[in-house]
Structure 1
Amino acid sequence: MTTEQDKMLAGEHYWINDPELTEIRFQTRELVDQFNLTQPRDAGHKNALQQRIFGAVGDNVHIEKPMRIDYGRNTTIGSNVFINFNFTLLDCCPVTIGDNVFIAPNVQIYTASHPMDIEQRNAHIGFAAPVTIGNNVWIGGGCIILSGVTIGDGAVIGAGSVVTRDIPANVTAFGNPCKVR
């Protein structure tokens, strides 16, 4: 039997209020709250919590507080990653953050989406698509990265951009919608 979690991870329509999914979100948010309350100098405790929150975390990952995370377990973070203040992650589908990635303050990554059909939306039906951020990427402050997007290795995303489509490797892109410039 296919669970709502299986459907969610597969990008199919799923019931957002499923008790199993709700419990996972509660558990993740409790860990994130602990992370957000950790003293700034207590790197060991912050690192231990990062390992519990995310599916996989590489070496030398630094995340500033606060952050907000939906599931956490659906996200892998490479090595030598810096994530600045006010990071929001809705990881209903897999999120991959490569090595040597810099994420500026107030960045939001959304794998989640909702149907255009009002009845489905009111029934709390959702769907999601993965987000992939390659190696050596810099994402400027206030960016929003939407579901299904891949950002290629070495790309730079300008501050305030709304990334609605894939961005190729080794380019500078910015704007709303984000475009290669």
Structure 2
Amino acid sequence: MKLIFGLMLLLKTAASLEFYCSFLQTGPCNAVLGDKLSLQLVDAREYNLKIQKRIRSKDKDPVCKIWNDRINKAECDLFNNRHDEVSVNNGILIINSVIRADSGTYSIQIYHSVGTETFKADLQVIIEGIPEFVVFVLVWCFQVMVLLGLLGGFHIYMRLTSGKKEEDQSVRMRRFREGHEDTAED
């Protein structure tokens, strides 16, 4: 049981993928729940960036400002309470473990340091996957099936070998009696 659980943990970490997307691509960006997502921005050392997740209106939607390749945590409500999981490196926004709330349409605005807008784009991010509790239930069912298979195999083995023991016992008893009859005649 511990072996199967350990293997499942190893498989979960080995199956972790990294998805790369860019605001220049035409189609949506697809990622899997719990995996790493890298969004190619631009070299943020030369520009000021503003990333906004469009939900309702531009004034109320979550915003994150990036300057000098760093997220300004005071002006970033886009990734609430997840600042350890989200970082910027060489113009790439890295989300280490995506959640369903990360899916949506993101807008990026790039400004020169003087404040003039140089680039604007949208990117749709789609997070796919099954919840972890479903994986837990599937693993548990697999373990139960293996256990029942082992118990069934043991039961069949015992039924097949128990008949041979009775047969061997009767043969030994017959030989024992025949052996005593030979000694009684002497």
TM-score class normalised by the smaller sequence: under 0.3
Q: TM-score, normalised by structure 1?
A: 0.20
* Structure exhibiting the larger radius of gyration computed from Cα positions: 2
Higher strand share: 2
Q: State the TM-score, normalizing by the size of structure 2.
A: 0.19
